[in-house]
Amino acid sequence: MTEDEAILARAQALPCFSAPAGARPLDGGKTNHNILVTDGGRRFVVRFGNDIPEHGILRWNELALSRAAQASGVGPAVVYAAPGVLVLDHINARPLQPDDIARPGTVAALARLIARVHRDTMRQVAGPVLAFDVFHILRGYARFLMAQRSPHVPLLPALLSEAEALEAAVGDGPTVLGHNDLLPGNILTDGERFWLIDWEYGGFGNPLFDLGGLAGNNGFTPDQERILLATYDGGAPDAARWHAYRAMKCASLLRETLWSMVSEITSTLDIDYRAYTATNLAAYRAALAELQH
Task: Reduce the secondary structure of 53-116 to three states and give it as a string.
Answer: HHHCECHHHHHHHHHHHHHHCCCCCEEEEECCEEEEECCCCEECCHHHHHCCCHHHHHHHHHHH
pLDDT reading at 1 higher than 90: no
Contacts of 19 (CB under 8 A, 6+ apart): 39, 40
Superfamily for domain range 94-292: Aminoglycoside phosphotransferase (APH), C-terminal lobe (3.90.1200.10)
Cα distances (angstroms) measured from residue 259 to each of 46, 183, 207, 263: 24, 13, 20, 6
Distance between CA 207 and CA 264 in Å, rounded? 29
The architecture that CATH gives domain 3-89 is: 2-Layer Sandwich (3.30)
pTM above 0.85, yes or no: yes
Stretch(es) of the chain classified as CATH 3.90.1200.10? 94-292
Bridge-partner residues for 78, per DSSP?
88
Q: How confident is the model at residue 4 (pLDDT cuts 50, 70, 90)?
A: confident
CB 175 within 8 A of CB 204: yes
CA atoms within 13 A on the CB side of 81: 13
Question: 263-274 pLDDT, tens per residue?
Answer: 999 998 888 999
Q: How confident is the model at residue 29 (pLDDT cuts 50, 70, 90)?
A: low
Average pLDDT, the chain: 95
pLDDT reading at 134 higher than 70: yes
Distance between CA 232 and CA 236 in Å, rounded? 9
Q: Torsions phi, psi of 272, nearest 5?
A: -85, 85
Question: 245-269 pLDDT, tens per residue?
Answer: 999 999 999 999 999 999 999 998 8
Q: Determine the average pLDDT of the residues in 47-54.
A: 94
What pLDDT is stored for residue 33 in this prediction?
87
Stretch(es) of the chain classified as CATH 3.30.200.20? 3-89
Distance between CA 176 and CA 153 in Å, rounded? 33
Q: Determine the average pLDDT of the residues in 39-49.
A: 94
What pLDDT is stored for residue 269 in this prediction?
82
pLDDT reading at 30 higher than 90: no
What pLDDT is stored for residue 27 in this prediction?
78
Cα dihedral 257→269→44→72 (10° resolution): -20
Q: Determine the average pLDDT of the residues in 17-39.
A: 87
- Triad 209, 211, 214: Cα angle to 5°: 100
Question: 213-244 pLDDT, tens per residue?
Answer: 999 999 999 999 999 999 999 999 999 999 99
